[in-house]
Protein backbone atom coordinates (compact mmCIF):
# COMPACT_ATOMS: atom_id res chain seq x y z
CA UNK A 1 0.00 0.00 0.00
CA UNK A 2 1.18 3.44 -0.78
CA UNK A 3 0.05 6.71 0.74
CA UNK A 4 -3.50 6.56 1.99
CA UNK A 5 -4.63 3.94 -0.54
CA UNK A 6 -6.35 1.00 1.13
CA UNK A 7 -6.68 -2.06 -1.08
CA UNK A 8 -9.16 -4.89 -0.68
CA UNK A 9 -7.16 -8.01 0.10
CA UNK A 10 -7.50 -11.20 2.12
CA UNK A 11 -6.90 -10.66 5.85
CA UNK A 12 -4.05 -12.54 7.55
CA UNK A 13 -5.40 -13.86 10.85
CA UNK A 14 -7.64 -16.86 11.47
CA UNK A 15 -10.30 -16.67 14.13
CA UNK A 16 -9.64 -18.58 17.37
CA UNK A 17 -9.92 -22.38 16.97
CA UNK A 18 -12.33 -22.44 19.93
CA UNK A 19 -14.83 -20.67 17.67
CA UNK A 20 -15.61 -24.07 16.10
CA UNK A 21 -16.94 -25.28 19.47
CA UNK A 22 -18.89 -22.05 19.96
CA UNK A 23 -20.50 -22.31 16.52
CA UNK A 24 -21.26 -26.01 17.09
CA UNK A 25 -23.03 -25.35 20.40
CA UNK A 26 -24.99 -22.50 18.79
CA UNK A 27 -26.06 -24.84 15.97
CA UNK A 28 -27.22 -27.51 18.42
CA UNK A 29 -29.08 -25.00 20.59
CA UNK A 30 -30.68 -23.45 17.52
CA UNK A 31 -31.97 -26.82 16.32
CA UNK A 32 -33.15 -27.98 19.76
CA UNK A 33 -36.59 -26.25 19.76
CA UNK A 34 -37.49 -27.64 16.32
CA UNK A 35 -36.32 -31.13 17.28
CA UNK A 36 -38.19 -30.94 20.58
CA UNK A 37 -41.41 -29.87 18.84
CA UNK A 38 -41.12 -32.64 16.24
CA UNK A 39 -40.32 -35.20 18.95
CA UNK A 40 -43.35 -34.11 20.97
CA UNK A 41 -45.57 -34.24 17.88
CA UNK A 42 -44.33 -37.71 16.99
CA UNK A 43 -44.62 -39.00 20.56
CA UNK A 44 -48.04 -37.53 21.33
CA UNK A 45 -49.73 -37.66 17.94
CA UNK A 46 -47.63 -39.95 15.75
CA UNK A 47 -50.56 -42.19 14.93
CA UNK A 48 -52.66 -39.27 13.66
CA UNK A 49 -49.75 -37.44 12.07
CA UNK A 50 -47.70 -40.10 10.27
CA UNK A 51 -45.54 -37.46 8.59
CA UNK A 52 -44.07 -36.45 11.97
CA UNK A 53 -41.70 -39.44 12.12
CA UNK A 54 -40.22 -38.69 8.71
CA UNK A 55 -40.01 -34.99 9.53
CA UNK A 56 -38.18 -35.79 12.76
CA UNK A 57 -35.65 -38.00 10.96
CA UNK A 58 -35.04 -35.36 8.29
CA UNK A 59 -34.63 -32.64 10.93
CA UNK A 60 -32.19 -34.74 13.00
CA UNK A 61 -30.08 -35.55 9.93
CA UNK A 62 -30.10 -31.91 8.77
CA UNK A 63 -29.23 -30.56 12.23
CA UNK A 64 -26.45 -33.11 12.74
CA UNK A 65 -25.03 -32.41 9.28
CA UNK A 66 -25.13 -28.67 9.85
CA UNK A 67 -23.46 -28.96 13.29
CA UNK A 68 -20.81 -31.32 11.89
CA UNK A 69 -19.89 -29.31 8.78
CA UNK A 70 -20.71 -25.61 9.07
CA UNK A 71 -18.60 -24.64 12.13
CA UNK A 72 -15.42 -26.09 10.61
CA UNK A 73 -16.27 -24.51 7.28
CA UNK A 74 -16.72 -21.12 8.96
CA UNK A 75 -13.35 -21.55 10.66
CA UNK A 76 -11.75 -22.27 7.28
CA UNK A 77 -13.06 -19.09 5.64
CA UNK A 78 -13.29 -16.45 8.41
CA UNK A 79 -10.24 -14.19 8.57
CA UNK A 80 -9.50 -10.80 10.11
CA UNK A 81 -6.77 -8.20 10.37
CA UNK A 82 -6.24 -4.66 11.56
CA UNK A 83 -3.54 -2.28 10.36
CA UNK A 84 -2.88 1.37 11.03
CA UNK A 85 -4.91 2.15 7.91
CA UNK A 86 -7.88 -0.24 7.93
CA UNK A 87 -9.81 -3.17 9.36
CA UNK A 88 -10.09 -6.24 7.12
CA UNK A 89 -12.53 -9.13 7.42
CA UNK A 90 -13.55 -12.03 5.21
CA UNK A 91 -16.36 -14.49 5.66
CA UNK A 92 -18.90 -16.47 3.72
CA UNK A 93 -19.62 -20.04 2.74
CA UNK A 94 -20.72 -20.20 -0.87
CA UNK A 95 -20.51 -16.46 -1.47
CA UNK A 96 -17.25 -15.08 -0.10
CA UNK A 97 -17.28 -11.54 1.25
CA UNK A 98 -14.18 -9.41 1.81
CA UNK A 99 -14.68 -6.17 3.73
CA UNK A 100 -12.31 -3.31 4.43
CA UNK A 101 -13.05 -0.32 6.64
CA UNK A 102 -10.53 2.52 6.40
CA UNK A 103 -9.75 4.12 9.77
CA UNK A 104 -11.11 7.47 8.58
CA UNK A 105 -14.55 5.86 8.01
CA UNK A 106 -14.89 4.14 11.40
CA UNK A 107 -17.52 5.65 13.69
CA UNK A 108 -17.61 3.21 16.63
CA UNK A 109 -15.72 0.17 17.90
CA UNK A 110 -17.58 -2.26 20.19
CA UNK A 111 -16.66 -5.51 21.87
CA UNK A 112 -19.38 -8.08 22.62
CA UNK A 113 -19.18 -11.25 24.73
CA UNK A 114 -22.39 -13.24 24.98
CA UNK A 115 -22.78 -16.06 27.51
CA UNK A 116 -21.62 -18.78 25.11
CA UNK A 117 -18.70 -16.65 23.94
CA UNK A 118 -17.68 -16.17 27.57
CA UNK A 119 -17.86 -19.92 28.11
CA UNK A 120 -15.43 -20.42 25.20
CA UNK A 121 -13.22 -17.41 26.06
CA UNK A 122 -14.22 -15.57 22.87
CA UNK A 123 -15.48 -12.14 21.85
CA UNK A 124 -16.64 -10.22 18.80
CA UNK A 125 -15.33 -6.80 17.78
CA UNK A 126 -17.86 -4.76 15.81
CA UNK A 127 -16.55 -1.87 13.73
CA UNK A 128 -19.33 0.47 12.64
CA UNK A 129 -18.95 2.73 9.62
CA UNK A 130 -21.31 4.80 7.52
CA UNK A 131 -21.44 1.93 5.01
CA UNK A 132 -24.78 0.74 3.67
CA UNK A 133 -23.45 -2.81 4.09
CA UNK A 134 -23.45 -2.44 7.85
CA UNK A 135 -20.69 -2.98 10.37
CA UNK A 136 -17.57 -5.10 9.95
CA UNK A 137 -17.61 -7.91 12.53
CA UNK A 138 -14.51 -9.70 13.71
CA UNK A 139 -16.10 -12.83 15.18
CA UNK A 140 -14.57 -15.66 17.14
CA UNK A 141 -11.59 -13.75 18.53
CA UNK A 142 -9.85 -14.72 21.76
CA UNK A 143 -11.31 -12.44 24.48
CA UNK A 144 -7.93 -10.88 25.31
CA UNK A 145 -7.10 -10.33 21.64
CA UNK A 146 -10.53 -8.75 21.11
CA UNK A 147 -10.02 -6.39 24.07
CA UNK A 148 -6.59 -5.30 22.82
CA UNK A 149 -7.87 -4.96 19.25
CA UNK A 150 -10.81 -2.79 20.32
CA UNK A 151 -8.52 -0.56 22.39
CA UNK A 152 -5.98 -0.22 19.58
CA UNK A 153 -8.66 0.52 16.99
CA UNK A 154 -10.26 3.14 19.23
CA UNK A 155 -6.91 4.88 19.67
CA UNK A 156 -6.09 4.68 15.94
CA UNK A 157 -9.50 6.09 15.01
CA UNK A 158 -9.04 8.93 17.51
CA UNK A 159 -5.71 9.83 15.88
CA UNK A 160 -6.92 9.47 12.28
CA UNK A 161 -8.03 12.61 10.47
CA UNK A 162 -11.35 12.36 8.66
CA UNK A 163 -15.03 12.80 9.27
CA UNK A 164 -16.01 9.09 9.56
CA UNK A 165 -18.82 9.48 7.02
Task: Supply the DSSP symbol for 121.
Answer: T
Please give the residue range of the domain that contains residue 43: 19-74
Confirm whether 49 is domain-assigned. yes
Global pTM? 0.85
Query: Do the Cβ atoms of 86 and 51 come closer than 8 Å?
Result: no
Element housing 7 (H / E): none
Instruction: State whether residue 101 is helix, strand or coil.
Output: strand
Task: Supply the DSSP symbol for 2.
Answer: -
Query: Do the Cβ atoms of 150 and 111 come closer than 8 Å?
Result: yes
Claim to verify: residue 55 and residue 100 sit in the same structural domain: no
CATH of the domain at 109: 2.30.29.210
Claim to verify: residue 70 and residue 92 sit in the same structural domain: no
Claim to verify: residue 63 and residue 90 sit in the same structural domain: no
Confirm whether 92 is domain-assigned. yes
Confirm whether 28 is domain-assigned. yes
Domain boundary among 74, 93, 113: 74
Claim to verify: residue 70 and residue 120 sit in the same structural domain: no
When pLDDT is cut at 50, 70 and 90, the band that residue 164 belongs to is: low
Confirm whether 150 is domain-assigned. yes
Claim to verify: residue 90 and residue 55 sit in the same structural domain: no
Q: How many structural domains is the chain composed of? A: 2
Say what the pLDDT of residue 14 is. Answer: 95
Is the pLDDT at 62 greater than 80? The verdict is yes
When pLDDT is cut at 50, 70 and 90, the band that residue 3 belongs to is: very low
Closest by CA position to 82, among listed 70, 59, 60, 99: 99
Amino acid sequence: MTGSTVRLRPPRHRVERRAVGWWTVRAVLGAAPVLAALTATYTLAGSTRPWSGAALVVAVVAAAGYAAVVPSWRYAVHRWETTTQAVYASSGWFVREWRVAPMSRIQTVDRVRGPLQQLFGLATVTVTTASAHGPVRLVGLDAEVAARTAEQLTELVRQTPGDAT
